Amino acid sequence: MATVIEETERVQQAPAAVARAGRSVTVIDDAGQVSVPSWVVDLDSFCRWVESDDVPEKLRVWYLKGEVWIDMSREQVNTHVLLKTRFYIVLGALVDAGRLGRLYADGLFLRNNAADVAGKPDATFASTATLLAKRLRPVPGKQGGIVELEGSPDMVLEVVSAGSVRKDTVTLKQAYWEVGAREYWLVDARQEPLTFDVFRRTAKGYSATRRQDGWLKSAVFGKSFRLTQQVDPALGDAVFNLEVR
C-alpha cells in the first residue's frame, strides 16, 4: 500500500514524453505513457482533447486549475470495482424508486467552468430540481449526443485506491467544494475496518457528517446510510453491504 509520501514522490516523476508537452502534468501511475498536446492550455482545450480519438475512453484524466492529472493505474477488483458496483445498485434503486433525479456511473465527464475543474467521479448524483434548474447542464458533443455535464451536482462519490490517496482526500475534496457539490462521499476499503464518510458543504469547505451507531445522514437523499464489509464464505472475497434507512 502506498503512503501519501510515496504517492507524492511517484506523482512528481512524470514520464519524459508527457513533460515535453510543455504542460503541468501529474501522472498518478506511470506504468504507461500518454502525451498531452501542447495546445492543451486551458479547460476548454482539455475538454476538446479528452473528446478526441487520442484519449482512450477508459483513461481517467482530470483537469484541476491548470494541471492535468492522468491516472493510469488499474482498479482493484475487490476494494474498488465491487464497492462501486454496490453503491450503483443501492443508490440507483433508491433514485429510481423515488424518482429523485439521475445517478451517473464513473463514465460521466463532469465539468465546472467557474471552478476550472473537469474529470470523471466514481459516481455523481443530480436531483430533479438541480436538472430542471439547469444547475447541471448537458453539453453536446461535436459528433452529436451528450458527452459531458457542466455545473454543480448534488453528490459526488470517490473510492480511494493506492494511487489516488492524495487526489481523493485532499485535491478533489477542495475541487468538489469549489464545484458546488452539496455532498462528497469518500470510501476507503483497502484495509479493515473500511472508512466511509459523507462530507456536507459549508461556506468554508466540507464538514464531516457525525456518525450515529455507524449511520451517516445524507441531506441530499434524506436517508441514513451504513456501509459494512464481510467475507463471502463461498468465494472468500469481500462482500459490501450498503444499508439505507
- Residue in 45, 119, 100, 108 with CA at minimum distance from that of residue 220: 100
Most confident listed range (4-8, 15-19, 146-150): 146-150
Query: What's the rounded mean pLDDT across residues 217-233?
Result: 95
Whether residues 131 and 41 fall in one domain: no
Choose the weakest-confidence range: 81-95, 155-169, 210-224: 155-169
28 or 60: which leads in pLDDT:
60
CB burial of residue 133 (10 Å; 0-12, 13-18, 19+):
exposed
Quickly state the pLDDT bin for 62 (edges 50, 70, 90): very high
CATH of the domain at 229: 3.90.1570.10
Quickly state the pLDDT bin for 23 (edges 50, 70, 90): low
What is the per-residue pLDDT for 27?
Answer: 60
107-146 pLDDT per residue, tens: 899 999 999 999 999 999 999 999 999 999 998 887 778 8
In the DSSP assignment, the letter for residue 164 is -
Quickly state the pLDDT bin for 5 (edges 50, 70, 90): very low
Whether residues 181 and 122 fall in one domain: yes
Whether residues 183 and 107 fall in one domain: yes
Inter-residue contact 228 to 240 (CB < 8 Å): yes
What is the per-residue pLDDT for 10?
Answer: 41
27-59 pLDDT per residue, tens: 665 555 677 888 999 999 999 998 888 787 778
- Residue in 167, 69, 149 with CA at minimum distance from that of residue 102: 149
Amino acid at 114: A
Whether residues 46 and 82 fall in one domain: no
Q: Can you say how many angstroms the Cα of residue 243 is from the centroid of all Cα atoms in its chain?
A: 21
Whether residues 26 and 115 fall in one domain: no
Q: Can you say how many angstroms the Cα of residue 29 is from the centroid of all Cα atoms in its chain?
A: 17
Look up the domain containing 62 and give its range.
4-71
Please give the tally of structural domains in the chain.
2
Whether residues 52 and 101 fall in one domain: no
Query: What's the rounded mean pLDDT across residues 210-235?
Result: 94
In angstroms, what CA-CA distances link 107 with 121, 217, 245?
8, 27, 28
Which of 34, 55, 71 represents a domain boundary (last residue)? 71
Instruction: Kindly report the pTM of this predicted structure.
Output: 0.86
Whether residues 99 and 219 fall in one domain: yes
Whether residues 132 and 47 fall in one domain: no
Inter-residue contact 152 to 160 (CB < 8 Å): no
157-177 pLDDT per residue, tens: 999 988 889 999 999 999 999
